[in-house]
Structure 1
Amino acid sequence: MEGYDRLAALMTGDKGLSIFRAFKRLNAKNLLYLQAEIVIKEKELNRIMKEDRESREKFREQFSSSVRLLKGGEEPSAQWKKWMELRVLLGEYNTAFAQHAQLLRLKAPHGRDLEVFRGWLKENAFCATPVECDQWFGGNGESTKDLVTLSGRYENVDSLTRWVFGTVVPWYHGVVGDKKAGDEETGVVYYDDDRIIRATRVTSTITSSVIPATSMIVLYLVDHMVWRLVIIVLYNICFSIILGLLAKARRVEVFAASTAFAAVQVAFITNFPRD
């Protein structure tokens, strides 16, 4: 496989490398041009509508209340013809508007993925025309901010998973991965994102079970009430930090969970007498 076939195989093998140009400036310019055309047509339509209303011709004066009369017989009215021109422009504008809005919601590629992607492009000269390859390196006068990814591996995952993707996997690849045989089509060593996410999910589940259990054990072994309160504070701090890293929780959810955890610990130590 060579050229774009090989590049397509790379993007298929790793969703994080599905990196494309969004052409945000050109799309915005296209919207502006369509908008200007519509405004001009709208002004022309308003002029024709005014002429029809002031024509003192009963047939033309009824255009505003009858589409049948507006469309006319064999020959449509000037007002209807202008409406048809506007209808085409509005369809193009609405479609382009919705598509551009969807493009703007796409995320920029992660720095690590972009680095891997560019490294592959440098090692595999897939296109004979330099301008076609430069677009991924900020060439042609365009900024790299115009690059977007269709399906980033760093989206909708917790901080621990992002850290594994961005730090652990590259480290592991540097130690072990280089010794592995790469993909036959692209020469790249792939790592299963779903397996990594499952592993971090199991880690989060185990951690969420261990923290409350160890808290109860420590509080049971400590007799002094002051030290118990200090332990509760320290455990709550650790619990909040770990919860923020291991779960996709909002601040209010972290606050509520920490409050509930503290309440459970306080209820636990009330069963023991004060020294």
Structure 2
Amino acid sequence: MTGYGALAAMMANNNNIEAFRRFSNLNVENILHMQAELQHLETVIHEVRAIPELNSFDRIWIDSPENMSEDDIRRIFERSRTLLDQYYRALLRTARINSLHRPPKENLELRRQWYDEESGGDQFLYGVEAGIFRDSSIEADMLTLGDNIGSKDALANFLSEKVVPFYHRFVGYRLHRSMAEKAFERTWEYRPETLVHAGNAICMLLSAVIPASSILVLFSVKSMGARLVAISMMSLVFSFLMNIIAQRRADVFMSTTAFAAVLVVFVGSANVMGN
């Protein structure tokens, strides 16, 4: 099987490799055209309403005025209703489309690899259609239908971008097999679910180690000035780690403040007990 049939089968069999264009510019331009036509219709209705001999429709629907037929006014309102419905549908549809994730860059590269391989797409497209795989300027206009788990998990995303490449370069390529499909025989897949589980394990470990190690450091330091410096440094480290793990800046700020407050309370309690 070749052509679009093979492309569809490849996308269906590989999670998150499917990628489609949003056509954002064309979609927004279409909405702007509808907005302009609605603006014109609204202006016409206001102008007709301002003419006494033509505004009887404003009180009785519809008493035909002298210089404008009943059908003329009805067509104006029917067109406005139809266009408003299309306009609102387009706005809501655009909001939903814009909420879909962009495909990861490595998945776009994988799709392009399949397209170039003789055992894959073998460059079956010509002309404008080939630009879907070749034109790098439209990558920002692509979307994926799959639920990109890694994009919701900051730590999993960090592991994917920073840790996995080093792991694969030195160890991973020996421990893991390449993908089964012939077109991807030189490609290794690290699934986002695995990275999320690894991130959860790291979070669990850090949540136990950081507070305990901080207390041990403060317990071993006797000088108050040195303790305050240690609190500042450990809070900085904690804030850095939270910046990787947390989803929002507010979470980083609040958790770091709470962490520093706990350490200050420990130092105060330790001084009282020592005295």
Give the TM bin, normalised by the shorter chain. Answer: 0.7 to 0.9
Write the mapping of 1:121-140 to structure 2, written as runs, cut at 5 A.
121-123=115-117, 124-125=120-121, 128-130=124-126, 131-138=128-135
Indicate whether 1:21 and 2:15 are aligned: no
Q: Residue 54 of structure 1 aligns to a residue in which SS?
A: helix
Q: Residue 20 of structure 2 aligns to a residue in which SS?
A: strand
Write the mapping of 1:183-198 to structure 2, written as runs, cut at 5 A.
183-184=180-181, 187=184, 189-198=188-197
Q: CA deviation at 1:154?
A: 4.2
Q: 1:196-250 CA deviation, whole Å, 9 max, x = no partner? A: 2011111112101111101112222333433333322221111111121122242
| Conserved 8 A contact 2:150-2:196 | no
Q: CA deviation at 1:50?
A: 5.0
Indicate whether 1:111 and 2:105 are aligned: yes
Q: Residue 152 of structure 2 aligns to a residue in which SS?
A: coil
Determine the structure 2 residue equivalent to 1:258.
256
Change (3 A) 1:249 1:233: same
Determine the structure 1 residue equivalent to 2:199.
200
Q: CA deviation at 1:121?
A: 2.3
Residue 180 of structure 1 is aligned with which of 177, 180, 188? 177
RMSD: 3.3
Which stretch of structure 1 is more off in the superposition, 226-235 or 173-182? 173-182
Paired letter, 2:151: E
Change (3 A) 1:62 1:237: same
| Conserved 8 A contact 2:114-2:183 | no
| Conserved 8 A contact 1:236-1:258 | yes
Paired letter, 1:115: E
Identity %: 29
Indicate whether 1:248 and 2:244 are aligned: no
Question: Comparing both chains, which one has the higher relative contact order based on Cα–Cα distances under 8 Å and sequence gaps of 6 or more?
Answer: 1
Q: Residue 182 of structure 1 aligns to a residue in which SS?
A: coil
Indicate whether 1:164 and 2:141 are aligned: no
| Conserved 8 A contact 1:154-1:162 | yes
Q: 1:3-26 CA deviation, whole Å, 9 max, x = no partner? A: 334433443455443321111121
Q: CA deviation at 1:112?
A: 3.0
Paired letter, 2:251: E
Change (3 A) 1:47 1:254: closer
Write the mapping of 1:45-56 to structure 2, written as runs, cut at 5 A.
45-49=45-49, 53-54=52-53
Unaligned runs of 5+ in 2: none
Q: 1:54-105 CA deviation, whole Å, 9 max, x = no partner? A: 15xxxxx6421233657xxxx9543123211222222222222322333344
Indicate whether 1:93 and 2:87 are aligned: yes
| Conserved 8 A contact 2:103-2:143 | yes
| Conserved 8 A contact 2:218-2:230 | yes
Q: 1:135-179 CA deviation, whole Å, 9 max, x = no partner? A: 23227xx64332233444442211x31122124334455554586
Change (3 A) 1:222 1:46: closer
When normalised by structure 1's length, the TM-score is 0.77
| Conserved 8 A contact 1:215-1:235 | yes
